[in-house]
Amino acid sequence: MNKLRVILAGALLAGSALGAGEIVGDARRGEQLFLTERCVQCHSINGKGGNRAPDLGTHIGRDFTPTIMVSLMWNHAPEMWEAMRTQGVAPPALSPEAAADLFAYFVSARYFEKAGDAARGKRAMMAKNCFECHGITQSNAAGAPPVVKWESLADPIVLAQQMWNHGAKMRQAYTERKLRWSPLTAQELTDMLVYLQNLPQNKALVSAFEFPPSESGATLFQSKGCADCHKGKLALEERLRNLTLTSIAVAMWNHQASMKQPSPNLSQEEMRQILGYVWARQYFRGGGDAAKGKDVFAEKGCATCHNDPSSGAPSLSKGAGSYSDITMVSVLWEHGPAMLDRMKQNNIAWPRFTAPQMSDLIAYLNKPGAR
């Protein structure tokens, strides 16, 4: 895939608009942290950095959620700290805000996006009859811009906005040409983008991926009528859980036909604000099971120290909504080294978690009065 220069300008997440426990993250600060805390000595982003540890900008060919990333970081933390010790690098003490900045940087590097395949993308475009109207360098139908003029190829937010605004016209064009309309999957769109980005005409494509603060996203979500339907069981923080920006764009595309018509047009800035708001809400709303998390807390030996005031372990009772993937990374890096030393002294094995166990544990820690 053509390696894109991805810039996340402004804060990715706006805590003031989202509620307690949700933290502002800025990819620009995250990029600086990645350098100043010397993460780059071992890890790289899209080939820039060390090679002792995985490239954090490389697609790994599987669904990769923030919770999976947190569980892997937790499981491999002792080995990471030992590698840092041998290199004379002090483990950074990450505040929740700093951890949010790093996650925002990983998002800007497309770390959580699924891998795509150009050959599959070409086949998908043919199957969806895209070339009936859109040529590569020229238009095949009135009002259908050629692929080389698609600015959306360089920005997932613009992609979502243009797919949303032009959906009704495209469905009409399909009807007039007696072509079959079918919904898209996130994998199909990802494959299409990989195919189009790797065309010779687009090889020099550079992305300006801007995701500004979403303070006005909540207001727009109301004024555009989204909140009228998306509440309760239809709330988007549940329906869009762990979806990437590309997946959200597909969900909006497929959903538009069943909406009340006409659907509201959105400017690029409005789409950025709304997606920033929606994406952040589902990102920080854990989907774990608190009852299972209680079992995880006991099985992994957490209660041995954290329920014993004499152990010196910090209290985990911080109130409902205090824990998320972001804060668990902060807890790991701020308290983990001392925690590992105490566990070695008491001959206790370092706890390792699967992603579902981590999600359940977070749900348990967020339950009022759980401990």
CA distance 251 to 344: 48
Angle at 217 between CA 215 and CA 220, to 5 degrees: 130
**Whole-angstrom Cα distance, residue 32 to residue 36?**
6
The C-alpha atoms of residue 366 and residue 324 are separated, in whole angstroms, by: 9
Please count the other Cβ atoms lying within 10 Å of the Cβ belonging to residue 291: 11
204 Cα distance to chain centroid: 25
Q: Are 273 and 216 in contact (CB under 8 A)?
A: yes
Note the pLDDT of residue 369: 63
Q: What is the pLDDT of residue 15?
A: 37
Q: What is the dihedral of CA 44, 46, 48, 53, to 10 degrees?
A: 20
Unique residue bearing structure tokens 């070339």: 131
**Under a CB-based contact definition with an 8 Å cutoff, are residues 284 and 324 in contact?**
yes
CA nearest 246: which of 183, 184, 324, 181?
A: 184
- 368 phi and psi angles, rounded to 5 deg: -60, 130
| Lowest-confidence segment of 192-201, 275-284, 335-344 by average pLDDT | 275-284
pTM for the model: 0.68
The per-residue pLDDT for range 135-191, each reduced to its tens digit, is 888 888 887 888 888 877 777 778 778 888 888 888 888 888 888 778 888 889 888
| Residue 103 Cα distances to 62, 66, 108, 279, 280, angstroms | 18, 8, 9, 13, 12
Q: Do residues 296 and 364 lie in contact, with contact meaning Cβ atoms separated by under 8 Å?
A: yes
Do 183 and 107 touch, CB atoms closer than 8 A? no
- Residue 5, SS3? coil
Residues 240-296 have pLDDT tens digits of 776 777 788 888 888 877 776 677 888 888 887 887 777 666 655 667 889 999 999
Smallest Cα–Cα separation from 102: which of 70, 60, 68? 70
Phi, psi at residue 154, to the nearest 5°?
-105, 0
Which of 2-6, 19-23, 297-301, 342-346 is predicted most confidently? 297-301
**Mean pLDDT for the stretch of residues 222-239:** 82
Give me the percent of the chain exceeding a pLDDT of 90.
Answer: 8
∠ CA 43-49-51, nearest 5°, is 55
Query: Measured between alpha carbons, how far is 221 from 280 in angstroms, rounded to an integer?
Result: 13
pLDDT in the model for residue 95: 86
**What is the DSSP-derived secondary structure letter of residue 51?**
S
Cα torsion angle, 56, 337, 302, 318, sign? negative
Tokens 């589902």 belong to residue: 282
Tokens (6 digits) for 199: 């065309």
Separation CA 237–CA 285 (nearest Å):
7
Q: Prior bond to 356 cis, omega within 30?
A: no
pLDDT digit string, tens, across residues 51-104? 777 777 665 555 677 788 888 889 989 988 888 888 887 777 788 888 888 877
**CA atoms of 285 and 95, how far apart (whole Å):** 20
Q: Which amino acid is at 119?
A: A
Helix, coil or strand: residue 211? coil
